[in-house]
Structure 1
Amino acid sequence: MDILWFLPTHGDGRYLGTTEGARAVDLAYLRQIAQAADSLGYYGVLLPTGRSCQDAWIAAATMIPVTERLRFLVALRPGVTSPTTAARMTSTFDALSNGRLLLNVVTGGDPGESEGDGIFLSHDERYAATAEFLAIYKRVLAGESVDYEGKHLKVRGGKLLYPPVQKPHPPLYIGGSSPPAHAVAARDVDVYLTWGEPPDAVAAKLADVRRRAEEHGRKVRFGLRVHVIVRETARAAWEAADDLISRLDDTAISAAQNAFASFESEGQRRMSALHNGRRDRLEVSPNLWAGVGLVRGGAGTALVGDPDTVAARMREYADLGIDTFILSGYPHLEEAYRVAELLFPRLPITVRPRTVEHNVTGPFGEIIALRYAPGTLRAAAASTQPPSPAPDAE
């Protein structure tokens, strides 16, 4: 499994829908999360896109010099950026990060936001424009000089002088639940992403994309974007889920659901339909909780439970073909540690936490009584030998 985390450039906190306990989106906090994800063994981080967020490309670029292995899943915005400009941005980021760029193709689902960015295309037209964008973009990154004239885009002599590190281009991801989204995924991208729906619904979407890809002689990988609330016990996890939305009032929920109803995103419609704004029907599948989606757009479900249960649910999705999991939790700094510590030992993850050498606590824990390294007392008792004191701690 490739396990990615989330860089919350639209804000963070302990509770949804309130300023209580909220955290500022600043360089220091984002750096803490990125460095934690890097050291804990996350494959990468997803950065959101849109006017509610700080710019994903600039935010990700500031994290390049403060991380070592971490990859950055950054949005490509057909219609907002030209394909040749996007190709130059891609090659520059990929080179300066030494091949740590991943690309999330986002067509946009909020008509108001799209119009604010100068895009006045219908839902299906946006996907048609995306297909044209990718046709130009991928050829330019592959080193071709491109002449192209389509319904939405026209390029003459498009080319790139500095190629990306990853060949022929960094991996392309895309989400979307509509037939046009599935068509683009099957023909043009490497990884198709779905938000966290019940397994049967996810299986149906994956089967459709897989079938379409086979018609093009291609294979597509699959990923799941979902929040996680994992605790040592199931009871503690469900209490944490309830606590996350404990500051929400009905006015906030109603306003959010009314806003989501204006979106053209089929994925957002499916997220909202899981709960219809009701607090009394939030567990929509075993351990899949839709409370986040009461006020948060996009991914609105969370896997909730003890470590063994959450890991088992993730393996159920893996059995459907999911090999990439993009996780998040509130607040993102603390939950990055909690998820890594509780779930990673139970999952076949691609990247492992960075090893810490020359550390007597090896690598976690405080010296007991300023004398004994954690774990040595029990081992010594079993062997009837007194433990050796640790080096002077102070």
Structure 2
Amino acid sequence: MSQLTFHWFLPTNGGDGRQVVGGGHGVEAGPSGRPASVPYLGQIARSAEQLGFEAALTPTGAWCEDAWVTTAMLSQVSDRLKFLVAFRPGLTSPFLAAQMAASFQNLTGGRLALNVVTGGESAEQRMFGDFLDKDARYARCDEFLTIVRGLWTGEPVTFEGEHLRVQDAVLQQLPSPLPQIYFGGSSPAAGAVAAKHVDVYLTWGEPPAAVGEKVEWVRKLAADAGREGKVRFGIRLHTIARATSEEAWAEADRLLAGISEDEIARVQAGLRKSESVGQSRMLDLNQGSKDGLEIHPNLWAGVGLVRGGAGTAMVGSYAEIADLIEQYRAVGIEEFVLSGYPHLEEAYWFGEGVLPELERRGLWSPPGPVRATTPPLPFGGTVAAS
């Protein structure tokens, strides 16, 4: 039985708080109670590695702190946790990106993974000086990853494409081990790039049947590209885990009560301008309404009312969420990139509640150092009388 991998999230996109922090995908981030800072993000990173998460995703874009700089700083206040650094290939030359990745990997002892974000919003891309349209951005991404992977072999690379060109490029310091490349996208152009280059294809949290269709789509594309069995699959979700189902749904109701109709209207109007096919699919799940948000048992679309990108959350008891995770595993998902509001507290609810349940089921094992002799108490549990 294959083991599952779990990652957490660093909220550099507007900070963190006890309500859903909206924004993203071209929409200005809403206010938060906990601005992103090295001390606070460091708390989240240290907690995530102590709880058994493998890595932490850091987003990219005009609406958040720079992922490379932020994670390099956080690597010095944590020990084991890897960083899933999101970056846009059109904004950095392939040689410099390959060099940056090698430096990060070698200086942190192998704690880098890369989340390649092609960029779904042309207006935002133009802020960075990138004036290509969406299809051209994917074509450039293909060239970019071809060059970077070539450079990581240590052999000279000469490449002349429609968008990128290098001549006799040799990377002196090679990354060890090679960083894993994560990538998401729901358009035909995205699927072609994923099939050819990536190690892990990421999808946002749609119901398991829809996720299974995307997994099979990319699997077939990868096989056609000569990479059968070379692509693993992950999912990006929020989580609200509690000892009982009633407590979890009460928390979801509290978050929903904190979202105003005016905020929904403002953010939805902005998100519907997105060129991202995946973002459109997220919006279809919530329909801009507070009604009917449980779109599959224990899968709630409320976050996507005011947040771009990942808009669904697993909500329920520890066992119910473990059951839903098993449903995703059944359709091919092996890695889970999770988050919750606030990110510090929700890491503990999941890490001390759901992960032990998955360990009991033989689906997960702690990746960190030898565990303490005293077993962890599930978050929200009670100590039995002696």
Question: TM-score with structure 1 length normalisation?
Answer: 0.89
Distance 1:112-1:225 versus aligned 2 partners, 3 A rule:
same
Query: Which of the residues 208, 211, 227 maps onto 2:220?
Result: 211
User: 2 CA distance for matches of 1:266 and 1:272?
Assistant: 10
Larger RCO (alpha carbons 8 Å, 6+ apart): 2
Larger Rg: 1
* Matched position secondary structure for 2:209: helix
Residue 284 of structure 1: SS of its match in structure 2? strand
Instruction: Say if 2:98 is the partner of 1:87.
Output: yes
Paired residues for 1:1-394 under 5 Å:
1-10=4-13, 11-16=15-20, 22-166=33-177, 169-218=178-227, 219=229, 220-347=231-358, 348-352=363-367, 354-355=369-370, 357=372, 378=386
Measured against aligned partners, the alpha-carbon deviations of 1:3-35 in whole angstroms (never above 9, x if no partner) come to 000011111100125878611111110000000
The superposition leaves residues 226-263 of structure 1 with CA deviations (integer Å, 9 ceiling, x where unpaired) of 00011111111111011112222111111111111111
Q: Distance in 2 between matches of 1:250 and 1:37?
A: 34
Which 5+ residue runs of structure 1 have no aligned equivalent? 366-373, 379-394
Q: After superposition, give the CA deviation of every residue in 1:288-333 in whole Å (9 maximum; x if it has no partner).
A: 1110000100000001111111100001100111100001110001
For 1:356 and 1:217, locate their aligned partners in 2 and report how far apart those are by CA, in whole Å. Answer: 41
Q: Structure 1 residues 216, 42: closer, same or farther in 2, change over 3 A?
A: same
Question: Secondary structure of 1:142's match?
Answer: coil
Moved more, 321-330 or 8-17: 8-17
Q: Percent identity?
A: 48
Q: Distance in 1 between matches of 2:123 and 2:225?
A: 34
Match of 1:369 in 2: none
Over residues 120-142 of structure 1, what are the superposed CA-to-partner deviations in whole Å (9 max), with x where a residue is unaligned?
A: 11211111110000011110111
In 2, distance between residues paired with 1:222 and 1:20? 33
Structure 1 pair 21–139 and aligned structure 2 pair: CA distance change class (3 A): closer
Deviating beyond 4 angstroms after TM superposition, the runs of 4 or more aligned structure 1 residues are 17-21, 352-357, 361-365
Distance apart, 1:76 and its partner CA? 3.1
Which secondary structure state, in structure 1, belongs to the residue aligned with residue 89 of structure 2? coil
Tell which deviates more after alignment, 93-102 or 10-19.
10-19
Q: Supply the AA of the counterpart residue of 2:291.
A: D
Q: How many angstroms apart in 2 are the aligned matches of 1:47 and 1:17?
A: 15
Partner Cα distance (2:137, 2:371) in 1:
48
8 Å contact kept, 1:203–1:320: yes
Secondary structure of the structure 2 residue equivalent to 1:182: helix
Aligned partners of 1:60 and 1:72 also within 8 Å:
yes
| Distance in 1, Cα, partners of 2:164 & 2:367 | 43
Contact 2:209 2:331 survives alignment (8 Å): no
Unaligned runs of 5+ in 2: 23-29
